[in-house]
Amino acid sequence: MKAVLLRGYGAGDKVGAHVSEVPVPEIGERELLVRMEACGLCGTDIEKTRGEYTVAMPILGHEAVGVVTSVGGDGVGGFREGDRVFPHHHVPCHECFYCLHGDETACTGYRTSNIYPGGFSEFFRVPAWNVSKGGVLRLPPGLPCKEASLIEPVGCCIRALDKCAVGEGEFALIVGAGPVGMLHSILLGIRRARVVVSDVSEPRLKFAEKMGVENVMDARRRDVGREVRELTAGRGADVAIVASGSPAALLQAVKAVRPGGRICLFGVPTKGSILDYDISALYNAETSLIPSYGTTDAETSAALRLIASDTARFSAVVTHSFPIEAFSEAVETATSGTGMKVVITT
pLDDT, tens only, 165-211: 999 999 999 999 999 999 999 999 999 999 999 999 999 999 999 99
Residues 38 and 132 in one domain: yes
Domain finish residue from 291, 310, 332: 291
Residues 188 and 255 in one domain: yes
The answer to whether the CB of 51 falls within 8 A of the CB of 8 is yes
Domain count, the chain: 2
Residues 12 and 48 in one domain: yes
Task: Average the pLDDT over 304-322 and give the result.
Answer: 96
Residues 75 and 59 in one domain: yes
pLDDT, tens only, 293-303: 999 999 999 99
Task: Average the pLDDT over 5-28 and give the result.
Answer: 79
DSSP labels for 12-43? TSPPEEEEEE-PPPP--TT-EEEEEEEEE--H
The answer to whether position 301 is within a domain reads: yes
The answer to whether the CB of 315 falls within 8 A of the CB of 338 is no
Residues 197 and 265 in one domain: yes
Residues 18 and 71 in one domain: yes
Residues 324 and 287 in one domain: no
Q: How many residues does the chain have?
A: 346
Residues 171 and 133 in one domain: no
The answer to whether position 316 is within a domain reads: yes
Domain finish residue from 267, 291, 315: 291
The pLDDT value recorded for residue 10 is: 46
To 5 degrees, how large is the angle CA 158–CA 159–CA 161?
65
Q: At what angle do helices 202-210 and 179-190 cross, to 10 degrees?
A: 30
The answer to whether position 177 is within a domain reads: yes
Q: What is the CATH number of the domain that holds 19?
A: 3.90.180.10
The answer to whether the CB of 145 falls within 8 A of the CB of 38 is yes
The pLDDT value recorded for residue 246 is: 92
198: nearest Cα among 248, 261, 269, 162:
248
Cβ-proximal residues to 336 (8 Å cutoff; 6+ apart), any chain? none
pTM of structure: 0.95
Residues 217 and 287 in one domain: yes
Tell me 105's DSSP state: G
Backbone angles phi, psi at 230, to 5 degrees: -65, -35
The pLDDT value recorded for residue 11 is: 42
The answer to whether position 194 is within a domain reads: yes
Residues 30 and 148 in one domain: yes
| pLDDT band, residue 15 (cuts 50/70/90) | low
The pLDDT value recorded for residue 140 is: 97
Residues 214 and 92 in one domain: no
Residues 128 and 191 in one domain: no
Give the domain extent around 114: 2-155+294-345
- Residue 313: exposed, middle, or buried by beta-carbon count in 10 A (0-12, 13-18, 19+)? middle
Q: What is the CATH number of the domain that holds 176?
A: 3.40.50.720
Alpha carbon of 84 to those of 35, 145, 341: distances in Å?
Answer: 9, 9, 22
The answer to whether position 160 is within a domain reads: no
pLDDT, tens only, 272-281: 889 999 999 9
Task: Average the pLDDT over 89-96 and give the result.
Answer: 97
The pLDDT value recorded for residue 271 is: 81
Cβ-proximal residues to 21 (8 Å cutoff; 6+ apart), any chain? 1, 2
Asked whether the predicted pLDDT for residue 12 surpasses 60, the reply is no
DSSP labels for 284-330? HTT-EEEE-----HHHHHHHHHHHHHSHHHHHTTEEEEEEGGGHHHH
263: nearest Cα among 301, 236, 284, 230:
236
The answer to whether the CB of 61 falls within 8 A of the CB of 120 is yes
The answer to whether position 44 is within a domain reads: yes
